[in-house]
Structure 1
């Protein structure tokens, strides 16, 4: 169910524009509820997550805020890939945000890690974030490796920034990860380093995926058939999944295979697998998926095998997902990542 909240300052001149656009797009979501709050002080704006007036919260989240945007009561200006477009999100942007929120199938208890606190993995258009992010993903899909910084600089230049500046912002918001030297160490769904999840892209390279869910989402993201060659955690047994590009049901071998979808405890959210340290001493946000859950979202040959692994790792919270649910979560998270940039 969609719960929408419109936050405005008194007599906001752009509230009527947002209301009009919402009235049209919400015809596609008849079960949605909407409320309106007038904010008259900075403390309330900060508490509710208001990033200028008007702000639209979808299930409590401002899907249009650029990472690092502070709370504000100022007049808000929304952007698309061409620059400023006015005082409310475009119709295309509203439909995209509402569709993503309405279609979410990520288990609620695990959404913080896998779904960036419910925000998903589609980077904002503003500041070249999505353009650079998409260039990184396409490079992995075409070559199996990160693009050269010169390529990213070329993409970022039209936004008045450098590739390194955009990568830093994408890292801060966990759209990808950088190592200490600034090199890409994770580009969900792709991993530059070997993992348990190897993926053969039809007509393309062999790549590694960060986790089982990431691997299952690659076909939808690229529009290409993929074959996943996975290894069962702790047992070394092989699992193969053929995922068609046309959205038809994947073929799993063995037919009994499942996915365990787990994460570390919240108080150890930034530790790499099997290495626990005080999260407060680290710079990363506690919801960083590469550290929190990617090492614990794996294929297993059967429900029994997955349950045995879970029983042997009681500190790892999680659940066993059937084939359909695991695949659909992957499609939901990664399917939209290379969609064309929206226009107003």
Structure 2
């Protein structure tokens, strides 16, 4: 196959990888957020309701991470190797956190300690993802400035997941738990913005690669549009919480994440790892990409359809225990 076809296949897989990452971050992000928030509730009945709100979806949500890892390994093996070489510890911490969550959900009814394990595992998983994201954005660069960027990114991911989790609880619970979730939604939104703002400024003023990418024709205009959309989504979160909407806050939080991720993808492309590895340099050969495209074309609709079906079946607020804490 000629270079034009190879470029098209590589770019297509870059988009598919990004789409898988969006699905994972949004779906598993809110149940990780719920897990982190359980650490802040003392009453066992409240934690039961919070875990119940994600009990039917959490394991399916994590499927996207498995598919993402497999797709990355097959479509971009050079990027997979480079990332694992530099990010082995945070990736292993992520897996450990997910294992802790899975075990805790199964055994939490036997001993209260498992509730702590569930919350701590969720926190470890979120922090690990934040570290991976920060390291990728900085191009795996060493130094104190890059370290500060990674730390703030990790804190921003935790705050963002708490925002998704809190707004999810607003739509799934009632009574005191819902009112508490509304307050946590506002607090998480403020922390998310507090982390995102300095990261955006640092990308422009401190990152030569980021500044160069944003200075390319048309890029800044597109980023401004996405930024305005993110501001509108944030305003909608605040307004819908104030007006007592149940579904609006979570939908706006998802929109905020999608818009932010779109801005991130635009800022990185055509690099896979900024300053280290481009999309074309990381991609497999064209026959491999084409063969994998056929496979994902068969699997993708099934996964998306199943996810939509389960969310439709279990839509609405929880019955019975949703008023825990009253």
Q: Calculate the TM-score normalised by the size of structure 2.
A: 0.27
- Answer 1 or 2: which has greater helix percent: 2
The structure showing larger relative contact order (alpha-carbon pairs under 8 Å, at least 6 residues apart) is 2
